[in-house]
Amino acid sequence: MNAPLGIGPLGQESAPLRRKLTATLRRLIETGRLPAGQRLIEKDLTAELGVSRTVLREALRELEADGLLVAGARGLSVAVLSRDEAENIYAVRAALEALVARQFCERADEEALQALAGAHAALSRAYAAGALGGILDAKLDFYRALCAGAANPVARDLLDRLNARISLLRARSLADPARKHASLAEIDALVEAIGRREGAQAADCAGRHVARAAQVALGAPPSSPLNDPETSQ
């Protein structure tokens, strides 16, 4: 039996409940409260969360499809990310974000620019507040606004999945005060380039932002588990 998660029942069963349950489990994985390699015991989760096995299994299937959970002989467990996988994810993410930044400059209308400005302002406030969960949520909203303005829903879906896979590594990166300050400055530069409609410069800013985040996140010794919460502080 796993230790209780301390989050209590989620409420009545419904489609919104499934989404809430999926988001709750995703955040527990992102923050390391459900650590890499931990097996998920349905009986314990249904009892603590106050949901049926049907709703729980729907949420678990979605997380498995996103690569956050893996199936084994003893059931589902939280995925363990290898260093090679993490490096590949960061490389693909850098290429995608550079593409989206360039497309935004080419395709976005004034409404999309205003939406991005609002998401950027919210992200700045989240960085100032300092709460990891708030920063991750605000960054998700920022990149979704970027993809919307770029008219590239395929990139949005791919980035959502990629960022979910490396969420704990992103937490490690943002736990570094110097990196947190530099990260926001890099995003500021990206938004400024977009405002000038400089596609090549925006793409360069986006790619550099991801590359620098990867340098910090992957700075752990090769022998240490990349998604071990003890190395993410």
Q: What distance in Å separates the CA atoms of residue 193 and residue 201, rounded to the nearest whole number? A: 6
Q: pLDDT by residue (tens digit) across 14-47? A: 568 888 999 889 888 877 788 889 999 999 999 9
């395709």: which residue's tokens?
107
pLDDT band at 232 (very low <50, low <70, confident <90, very high): very low
CA-nearest of 93, 78, 97 to 28 is 78
**Looking at the predicted structure, is the pLDDT value of residue 7 above 50?**
yes
Tokens of 215: 């340098």
Q: Which CATH number fits domain 83-231: 1.20.120.530, 3.40.50.2000, 3.90.700.10, 2.30.40.10?
A: 1.20.120.530
Contacts (Cβ under 8 Å, ≥6 apart) of 162: 89, 92, 93, 96
Do 21 and 29 touch, CB atoms closer than 8 A?
no
pTM, 2 dp: 0.77
Q: pLDDT by residue (tens digit) across 167-203? A: 778 777 777 788 889 999 999 999 999 999 999 999 9
Domain ranges of the chain: 15-78, 83-231
> How much is the pLDDT for 14?
53
> How much is the pLDDT for 27?
82
**Looking at the predicted structure, is the pLDDT value of residue 76 above 60?**
yes
Residue range 15-78, CATH number: 1.10.10.10
Q: Determine the angle formed by the axes of helices 42-49 and 53-65, rounding to 10 degrees.
A: 110
